Every structure is written in C-alpha cells, then in structure tokens.
Chains A and B, each alone.
Chain A
Amino acid sequence: MENRLLNKFWKFSNPVLFKKLAKIISPLAGLIAVLTIIPGLVWGVFFTSPDYKQMETVKIIFIHVPAAFLAINIYLMMTITSLVWLIRRHFVSALAAKSSAMIGVTMTIVTIITGSLWGSSTWGTYWVWDPRLTSFAILLCFYVGYILLWQSIKSLETAASVTSLFCIVGSVFALLSRYIVFFIDQGLHQGPTLSLDQEKNIDNSYYFPLILTMVGFSSLFVYLVLVRTTTELYKYKLKLIG
C-alpha cells in the first residue's frame, strides 16, 4: 500500500506531469496565500490590542515569525530535494532546490530586517551577537554560498550535483555552528512560545492571526516555488533545443 503511494508520488518527477500538477496547484496556493495573508495581517495589525510593554511594535511578529519559520524550513526542504536528486536522479527535484534558494535568501533577509527593527525598539539596539541572530547570519552565509556555487558552474547537471552535495554537507555544518553558538552564549532573544501542544503559549488574540499568516506565507512559498520550478524547466528545455 505504502509502496504504491510512493510510486504515485515519484510519478510526478516526470517534468510533463509535474508541469500539469503545478498548473493545478499553483493558482490554488496563490489564492490561499492571498486569502490568508491579507486578513491575517489586517486582523493582526488593526484588531488586536497592543502589548503592555512593547506597545505597537509587537505586531512585527506577524511578519517576523512566519519569515523565520520559512527561512529555516526552506533550507530543510532544499536538503531533502538535494538528497532526492543525488539518490534518484530526478531533475525536477534539483531545480526545485535551485528555485527555492532565492526565496530562502529573501525570507532570511526579511527576518533579519524585521528582527533588527523590532530589536531597536525593545532591546535598544539593532543588532546583538545573540545565538539566534548569529545562527541566522550563518544561515544567510550558507544560502549565499549555495547560490554562488550554482551560478559559477556552467554544466547544469554538474552544478545540480555539486550544489546538492554542498547543501547536504552545509546543513550539517550550519546545525553544528548553531549548537556551538548556543553552547557558548545563551543570549537575549526570547525562547519559543509558539507551538501546537505546549502549555506556555502566546495569548490567543495573537495566536490565531499568527497561525493564519504562517499558513499564508507557507502557501505563498508553495506558489512561488512551483512557478519558479516550472520556469526553470522551460529554461532547461530551451537550452537543450538551442
């Protein structure tokens, strides 16, 4: 049963089938993104009460947290798709990793910018070398290295393989650096207060709009990645023809 399900899943590594699927899913994802991000942000920014201590600046959370959530998980997704390319040789997978790298960089930069704006009003400084901030700087370095490596190699297949290896080894080293940074210094940033099962959570009036924007950002990512991967596939086809 599981095997049959997996086979159905691998079927979409065929570029033609993938493009058909992308044509169905991407408008849906885009629609969900529009329908959740705009109400989520409006609800979050205008219809919640300000924090007793941080006042209105707390509302940066509705962009900061989803962007950070995506920045980390996009790298995880790139690692998985890279593994799929190295093991099963599905080219769609490598192209998906390539097209999500740019989105990952954007999300990391958005996280850092919103975070430093938030920090300037609550901590009194734009940047401290706090473990969480440092690990985002490290993450940015790995994203940039990945993109530089993609652009520096001419042969597409070699580039895909080499960057996949870079991504997998890089994820190990990024995690290693992160835990070492946490070992050296505990820092200023607050701990996690957003989860589905923990008792100590942020207040419900923030919780629901935050979940809404997170769903919205995720579906925005799905939309963008599908569109970009389809474009990359067409580009690859053009290169093969001419």
Chain B
Amino acid sequence: MLNILRLEFLLILRSGSHVVLAFSFFLFFMLLFALSTFRDNFILSGIGLTAVWLSLLMSTLLTLNKVIHEDFESGVLDYLLIADIPIEVTLFCKTIVHWISVVLPLLLITPIVLLTFQISSYNIIKTVLILLLGSPSLSFLGTMISCLTLSNRSSFLLTTITIPFYFPTLLLGVFCSSSTTTNLFAFEYLLLYANTLFTVVLSPYISSYAIKLNYS
C-alpha cells in the first residue's frame, strides 16, 4: 500500500500538470464570482461560502479523468488488476492521492481567497474545517463514477453524470457552512460526516465492481 502511495506521488510530481490546472481554475472561478458581485459587500459575503464549494466541485470534476481513465487507456490498470494487492486498496490509495494533490492545496488557499470576500475570520476557519471534513467524498464519488464510465473516453459524459452524485455533499456542505450553530456535533454536521464516511467506505468496493463489469 505504501508502495502504491509512493508511486502515485511520484507520478504526480513528474507529470502532474492537472494539479496546477485545478489550482488556477479554482482561483479564476472564485475571481469570476467576485467580479460579478463586488459592487455590493452584502451579496459578496453572502455568495462567498457557496462560491468556494462550487469552485472546489468544478475543479475536482475537471481532474477526475486523470484518476482512472489514463491508467485504463495506457493499460496500467490491467497490471493493477492482476497484481497481488487487492484492487480496492489500489483504488483507495489513488483516490487519497488525488484528494491530497488536488483538493488539499485548494483548501490551503481558501482562507486567503475568502478574506477578499469580506467574511469574518471565525467563519473562514469553520468553512475550511467543514471543507476538510466534507470534500473527501467529492474525490471518492469521482473515482466511483469514472470507473463506471471507463468504456467511454469523453470527459463530458463523466462530468455530466457525476454532477447528480454530488448533490448530497453540496447541499449539506453549503448548509453547514452557512449554519449558525457553534456545536460541531449538531445534526447537520453529523449528517455531513456520515456522508463522507459512507462514500469513503463504499466507493472502493463499488469502483472495483464497476471495473470488473467493464472488463467482462
């Protein structure tokens, strides 16, 4: 498992142009939100939290075809399937690496971006915490759906059919970010954690099943 993680990180280091792409896409998308509402501070601070979730979602969507599709096309996936390590573990590692390389840098830049949206520092810390706990499900769902669409290369299809699966995360995430409770174990937060855990646990199994269906 450590070997796979090391391999994946090496791959990202040597040919990870999509990480930079996702990072700049996130910033540009936030800039678009800011530019369209900067005349009114009230609207600006109101839209900030939603804008972060949407930009994060979009930049995750754009990088999804790098997780499994490239391996499938180059034939690496065949070797991973017949390797000693269970395919579920491999998929789990791949997704974790995707989350660390694509989503985590965005979370690190989020506080600075949100400062320009006139949002109080307490709310910024809360939002980043919620993003940290909620965003893994975006990567894991993405892996699941990209395994389902292996037979078709178009990233348009992948994006279109992934979006419905992001509804629960988006709904809960935005709802939690804008909720006023300070208790981090309130019901809506618990729902968000449950959603994350549910997808993290289930996604590798469903993905591996989908890959096997595609190969049969």
Contact = CB atoms under 8 A, between A and B. Distances in A.
The range of chain B's interface size is 20 to 34
B172 A180 contact: yes
A188 interface: no
Task: Identify the interface centre among A158, A159, A170, A180: most chain B CB within 10 Å of its CB.
Answer: A180
A176 B151 contact: no
Interface of B: 144, 148-149, 151-152, 154, 157, 160-161, 163-165, 167-168, 171-172, 175, 188, 191, 195, 206, 209-210, 213-214, 216
A181 to B, nearest CB: 7
30 contacts: A138-B164, A138-B167, A141-B164, A141-B167, A142-B164, A145-B160, A148-B157, A148-B160, A149-B157, A149-B161, A152-B151, A152-B157, A153-B151, A158-B151, A158-B214, A162-B148, A162-B214, A165-B210, A166-B148, A166-B161, A169-B144, A169-B165, A169-B206, A170-B164, A177-B171, A180-B171, A180-B191, A181-B171, A183-B191, A184-B175
Contacts of A183: 188, 191
A165 B207 CA distance: 10
B168 A176 contact: yes
B168 A141 contact: no
A141 B163 contact: yes
Task: Identify the interface centre among B144, B151, B188, B191: most chain A CB within 10 Å of its CB.
Answer: B151
A173 interface: yes
Interface of A: 138, 141-142, 145, 148-149, 152-155, 157-159, 161-162, 165-166, 169-170, 173-174, 176-177, 180-181, 183-184
A165 B214 CA distance: 11
A176 to B, nearest CB: 5
Task: Identify the interface centre among B161, B164, B171, B191: most chain A CB within 10 Å of its CB.
Answer: B164
Contact of A180 (B154, B168, B213): B168
A138 B157 CA distance: 17
Nearest to B172: A180
A157 B216 CA distance: 9
A152 B149 contact: yes
B171 A145 contact: no
A161 B168 CA distance: 25
A43 to B, nearest CB: 39
B33 to A, nearest CB: 20
Contact of B154 (A138, A152, A170, A174): A152
A158 B157 CA distance: 16
Given A169-B206, A176-B195, A184 B161 contact: no
Nearest to B167: A177
Given A170-B164, A180-B172, 5 more contacts: A142-B164, A161-B213, A174-B164, A180-B167, A180-B175
Task: Identify the interface centre among B160, B206, B213: most chain A CB within 10 Å of its CB.
Answer: B213
Contacts of B206: 165, 169
A159 B164 CA distance: 19
B167 A152 contact: no
Task: Identify the interface centre among B144, B171, B206: most chain A CB within 10 Å of its CB.
Answer: B171
